Structures are given as C-alpha cells and as structure tokens.
Structure 1
Amino acid sequence: MTRRSCPCGLPETYEACCGRYHSGASAAPTAEALMRSRYCAFVKGDAGYLLRTWHPRTRPGTLELDPGMKWTGLEILGTTGGSAFHNTATVEFRASYRGGSLHERSGFERVDGAWVYVDGEFPA
C-alpha cells in the first residue's frame, strides 16, 4: 500500500494532516494551516468545513461547489502574521486546477481563538 501525501502539498497523509481539521479532531494552529485545509476541503468537496471556517461576518448562506472542478496543486507564495502570537494574517497562494490557476491573497482573523477565513483579493 502506497502512502499518499495530503492534497494540500505537505508530505503527511490526509488523515494526519488536513483530515484531522476536517473531522474536528483539532483546529488549524496557524493561518497557513487553515489555508491549506481549506484548499484540501475544495479538493474533497467538503462545503461544510469551508462554511465552518469562514468568518461569520463574510460567510455566505450556502456554498455550491462545482463537482467537475479538478484541483491539482497548491503553492503558498507568502504569509504575514498567522501564528499563535497574531490575531490577523494574510496568506498569498496559487491554487492550480485543470486548465488554469487561481492567485489569491486571503485574509484571516481569529474568532474565539480559532483561525477563520475572512476574504480574498486577486492580485494583478
């Protein structure tokens, strides 16, 4: 049996990496870990996790994911803040999908101690 790395790009298995956040066994300790777990949730089609980790002030009422979307990779381009010593963070990334890529600079904040996604902008 071959060990497959997590879709977020880290070498751990899904269960040892983003799967533990998706299941609720633990919370992402950094904004980058949350970003990676949210990307992985898009790969897995886990809209519930995406909504749970979205800031209440910016969260949509529902989220419809395109079942035909095939995500193929994640590259973290940079981070500011986002550790245990911060309350806000920015994570810039490129997420590749079949036929293209998405470049976003995402904002994160802590709500009741947990990192949540606020919003994103698309750099030129």
Structure 2
Amino acid sequence: MSDAIQPLSAMAERIRRTVAIAVTAVLTAAVFAGLLPGASIFLGLLSADPLLTVARITLAVALLDGLRRSDSTLRVRLRWVGFTAGGFALVALADRHAFGLLPHGVMPPEVAVAAATSALCLTTSALDPTPRRNAW
C-alpha cells in the first residue's frame, strides 16, 4: 500500500468504527427501552415487541464483535446489519405487523430509522480507499 493511500485507509477505518459505535448505541438504547416493563412504544418512535428486542440484541452484539476484530470483519458486520435493517424496513412497509409476528406493530418513524440505518451501514461498509486498476 502506498503512502498516499494509508491516511485514507485509516480515515475509512475510523469512520466505520464511529458509525458502528453510534449504531450500537442506538440499538442498545432501543433494547433497554424494550425491556422496560409495560413499555410497548419507546418515545413514540420505536416499538418494543419481544421479537424486535431479540433482533436488536443480535445486531448490537454482531457490531460489538466486529469492533473487537479486524477492519474487514467490521465491514462484513456493517453490511450484515445494513441488509437486515433494510429487509426489516421493506417488510414493515409491506405490513405494519410483519405478517402477524409483531403484536404492537411498527411505528412509521421506525421504518425511517431502519431505512436510515440500512443506508448508513451499507454506505459505510462500502468505503474503500484503495485505487482501482483498469482491467485493460
């Protein structure tokens, strides 16, 4: 790797780590809100169905594990979280109760949060400062 590429690579890694920490913090806050007794909707934004709480725990643990490991592992974990959040947003757009899996249903802002999380994670995982070589 040339000297000019190294600062860009380090910057991309810092951006990925910052995004992973921020998304993990949001997921963790949503998990704790979902574990509160009697809470079905957190701040009018996020529903607290048990299935969503388990999914958020899984995604937060995956990102924490990616933060512990190499940058390439973190890229894969960010991509995994991005596709999962995007899939959730598409299912929530199709049916508010996720075809009967979510008793409380999904709040409209939650779809926007899931879509934004998906876009952020997928874009961040695609950061690649290495120069492309022509195949010619």
Q: TM-score range with shorter-chain normalisation?
A: under 0.3
Q: Which gives a bigger RCO, structure 1 or 2 (Cα 8 Å, sep 6+)?
A: 2
Question: Structure 1 or 2: larger strand share?
Answer: 1
Larger Rg: 2
